[in-house]
Amino acid sequence: MDYKVLYRKYRPADFNHLVGQDSIKKILVNSIINDKIAHAYIFTGPRGTGKTSTAKIFARALNCLNPQNGISCGECENCKNFNQSPDIIELDAASNNSVDDIRNIVDSVNIAPTNSKYKIYIIDEVHMLSTSAWNAFLKTLEEPPHNVIFILATTEIQKVPITVLSRCQRFDFQRIDKAEITEHLKKICEEENIKSEDDALAEIAFLSDGCMRDALSILDQLSKISEEINIDVLKQNYGTITNDDIEELYVAILHNNLDDLLTKLSDIKKCGIDIKLLLDKMIEYFLNKAIALKQKNVSNNAFKQLKKIINSLNDLLGKLNSNSNGFLMLELELVSFINDDEVNLSSRDINQIISREIISKDTKVDVNEMLTANDSSYYKVTKEFIDTRINNTLVSASKENKLSFIESWKEFYTYLDNNDLKEFKTILKNSIPQIVSNDYALLVTKSESTKIIGNKKLHELEIQFKKVLNKEYKFLFLNEQEWKNFLSTYDKDKKYELIDETIYINKDDNSCQLAESIFGSNNVNME
Ligand SMILES: [Zn+2]
């Protein structure tokens, strides 16, 4: 059981170190301060929420010779010898649930504590006791000697007889807040010199579903297999997804892109995340987006759509049971939002959502901004580059491609217009798509200056275009003379094959290096 090392090591010894359960903490501490101790307690709640830890902390404080404001001192003899104390009796009812086990307890309660104020029985998983064991126990529980305290713990309170509950002071433990777990993990990482990224720790907290024990065992295992705990390591070893993954689902829904939606869903399914956790996470994500829309007063239609999505996910969460294929149901729900007649999102709505950062900008856009700031060209626009792009555009050029691209181009223009991106707007206004393939577009400009600026801003335009239209295109601008020259030499019978463009990327460019040093080379768009 090596992996429980951190959990054991960081098991809290007193109330100051207990994470979460603040109200329970407060009541128990006050009961010690005011010396109002009950004779039987029952702690109930999900596993890993601190029931047994709290029972021990409370027991230690009860027998502490010098408690400080209701908290054990940690220095006195009783505190130091707590783990060996004969007056603290722990019993796991999962394995000791017979009448005989309980009779042993009943017989021993009348023997006075050895060297403490109280003799304290901590019985874990108490719902596992057999009926006859309960019967043997009831009388003692009703009238225990004045120096005996029972602390019962259970994850299944409904299985505990009502006659027992009525004799106990009950405390309901809640799942521990994710932020509190994250904070605790962070402290442990610092203490243990474990390198970690904050968002990975937050993700572990999410995966643990409010259970500190699980969170610590994940941390433990990851720290053994990797030097640094980051999202990638977490993803490789545990079925989890990040907000970026959900963002991609949302973008696919916004653009009514069924293919992207299904591909992304299939990726998420492959990572093996628990469906309930996935739904929780999605609801949280969409809720945050909905709030952001309201706060920034952006698109009421988009808000309505999000509300609908949240409701449907919430319903699904309620309907989940062990027999249902939750993932299939989720797929069905999300697919129903593609081309949903009831939701009418205009491209203006979508532009607003993107431009007002309701959807966070991806790193590619940040790279772009840095490039703009440095005013450097991403591509080396040489004669060879131009020839290569023309060639590549011709590989799969078609009239259909051109027609659909013109629609996108108009949409792109509306976006630039709405967002007052003047420089790009001028380029678009003064150029006409002439040849379009599946992923290349050749644009002819009315003036030489537009051509020059257009080709200088080529990469930025491509990034903006992708951001707005969710389609990846590569552009090239030609002036009218160049276009005429091209037409006069164009050979319609020639077979064109794609030529690698990598050599035309300005890899030595400072701004690229700067971007790379911040985002890592994978994020820099060097096709
Ligand atoms: Zn003490």
Q: What is the helix (H) or strand (E) element at residue 432, kind and residue range?
A: strand 431-436
28 & 166 share domain: yes
Question: How far is ligand 1, taken at its centre, from the CA of residue 73, in Å?
Answer: 4
458 & 496 share domain: yes
| pLDDT given at position 176 | 92
Question: How far is ligand 1, taken at its centre, from the CA of residue 33, in Å?
Answer: 14
CA–CA separation, 160 and 474 (whole Å): 67
On whether residue 259 sits in a domain, the answer given is no
On whether residue 212 sits in a domain, the answer given is yes
Question: How far is ligand 1, taken at its centre, from the CA of residue 118, in Å?
Answer: 14
User: Which structural domain, as residue segments, surrounds residue 297?
Assistant: 277-355
On whether residue 475 sits in a domain, the answer given is yes
Query: Which residue, 242, 182, 241, 235, is CA-closest to 208?
Result: 182
| pLDDT given at position 507 | 62
Q: State the residue for tokens 């707007």.
A: 425
166 & 43 share domain: yes
Question: How far is ligand 1, taken at its centre, from the CA of residue 24, in Å?
Answer: 21
On whether residue 50 sits in a domain, the answer given is yes
Question: How far is ligand 1, taken at its centre, from the CA of residue 60, in Å?
Answer: 7
From first to last of its 527 residues, the chain has per-residue pLDDT tens of 344 578 888 889 999 999 999 999 999 999 999 999 999 999 999 888 999 999 999 999 999 999 999 999 999 999 999 999 999 999 998 888 888 888 888 899 989 999 899 999 999 999 999 888 998 899 899 889 999 999 999 998 988 998 899 999 999 999 899 899 999 999 999 999 999 999 899 989 988 888 898 899 899 989 988 889 998 888 888 877 888 888 889 988 988 889 999 999 998 888 778 888 888 889 888 988 888 888 888 888 888 899 999 999 988 888 887 667 888 999 999 999 998 888 777 877 887 777 666 665 332 333 233 333 333 467 888 888 898 999 999 988 999 999 999 999 988 988 888 777 777 888 888 889 999 999 999 999 877 777 888 888 898 899 889 888 888 899 999 988 888 888 888 887 888 888 888 888 876 544 444 344 333 344 434 33
Radius of gyration from C-alpha coordinates of the chain: 33
Question: How far is ligand 1, taken at its centre, from the CA of residue 217, in Å?
Answer: 30
DSSP string, 118-174: -EEEEEESGGGS-HHHHHHHHHHHHS--TTEEEEEEES-GGGS-HHHHTTSEEEEPP
Question: How far is ligand 1, taken at its centre, from the CA of residue 210, in Å?
Answer: 30
167 & 45 share domain: yes
| pLDDT given at position 228 | 92
Question: How far is ligand 1, taken at its centre, from the CA of residue 179, in Å?
Answer: 31
Question: How far is ligand 1, taken at its centre, from the CA of residue 80, in Å?
Answer: 7
Question: How far is ligand 1, taken at its centre, from the CA of residue 7, in Å?
Answer: 23
Question: How far is ligand 1, taken at its centre, from the CA of residue 83, in Å?
Answer: 13
Question: How far is ligand 1, taken at its centre, from the CA of residue 347, in Å?
Answer: 67
403, 337 Cβ separation under 8 angstroms: no
What is the CATH classification number for the domain harbouring 185?
1.10.8.60
Question: How far is ligand 1, taken at its centre, from the CA of residue 79, in Å?
Answer: 4
Q: How many separate domains does the chain show?
A: 4
145 & 40 share domain: yes
Question: How far is ligand 1, taken at its centre, from the CA of residue 279, in Å?
Answer: 46
| pLDDT given at position 369 | 34
What is the CATH classification number for the domain harbouring 96?
3.40.50.300
Residues 6+ apart with CB under 8 A from 122: 52, 55, 56, 59, 88, 89, 90, 91, 151, 153
| pLDDT given at position 372 | 35
Question: How far is ligand 1, taken at its centre, from the CA of residue 25, in Å?
Answer: 18
On whether residue 519 sits in a domain, the answer given is no
Question: How far is ligand 1, taken at its centre, from the CA of residue 191, in Å?
Answer: 25
Question: How far is ligand 1, taken at its centre, from the CA of residue 76, in Å?
Answer: 4
- Per DSSP bridges, beta strands 440-445 and 431-436 are antiparallel
3-class secondary structure, 44: strand
CA–CA separation, 334 and 354 (whole Å): 20
Q: Count H helices, E strands: the chain?
A: 25, 10
3-class secondary structure, 357: coil
Question: How far is ligand 1, taken at its centre, from the CA of residue 75, in Å?
Answer: 5
167 & 188 share domain: no
What strand order describes the sheet that includes 169-172?
88-92, 119-124, 148-154, 40-44, 169-172
| pLDDT given at position 323 | 64
Question: How far is ligand 1, taken at its centre, from the CA of residue 238, in Å?
Answer: 41
Question: How far is ligand 1, taken at its centre, from the CA of residue 71, in Å?
Answer: 8
Residues 6+ apart with CB under 8 A from 355: 415, 418, 419
Question: How far is ligand 1, taken at its centre, from the CA of residue 37, in Å?
Answer: 17
Question: How far is ligand 1, taken at its centre, from the CA of residue 237, in Å?
Answer: 42
On whether residue 484 sits in a domain, the answer given is yes
56 & 70 share domain: yes
Question: How far is ligand 1, taken at its centre, from the CA of residue 66, in Å?
Answer: 5
Last-in-domain residue among 130, 154, 172:
172
Q: State the residue for tokens 């297999």.
A: 225
Query: Which residue, 211, 341, 359, 218, is CA-closest to 299?
Result: 359
Question: How far is ligand 1, taken at its centre, from the CA of residue 106, in Å?
Answer: 28
Query: Which residue, 408, 457, 403, is CA-closest to 435?
Result: 403
DSSP conformational letter for 336:
T
118 & 209 share domain: no
Give the helix ranges, DSSP H, for 238-274: 243-254, 258-270
Question: How far is ligand 1, taken at its centre, from the CA of residue 41, in Å?
Answer: 22
Output phi, psi for 89, to 5 deg.
Answer: -115, 115
3-class secondary structure, 445: strand
CA–CA separation, 343 and 335 (whole Å): 13
Last-in-domain residue among 172, 198, 221:
172
128 & 147 share domain: yes
Query: Which residue, 194, 253, 242, is CA-closest to 218?
Result: 194
On whether residue 317 sits in a domain, the answer given is yes
192 & 149 share domain: no
The dihedral sign for the CA sequence 295, 297, 299, 300? positive
Question: How far is ligand 1, taken at its centre, from the CA of residue 11, in Å?
Answer: 17
472 & 401 share domain: yes
Last-in-domain residue among 154, 172, 190:
172
Question: How far is ligand 1, taken at its centre, from the CA of residue 74, in Å?
Answer: 5
3-class secondary structure, 431: strand
Q: Which two tokens stand for residue 428?
A: 């678009």
On whether residue 397 sits in a domain, the answer given is yes
Question: How far is ligand 1, taken at its centre, from the CA of residue 89, in Å?
Answer: 18
314 & 224 share domain: no
3-class secondary structure, 442: strand
Question: How far is ligand 1, taken at its centre, from the CA of residue 139, in Å?
Answer: 32
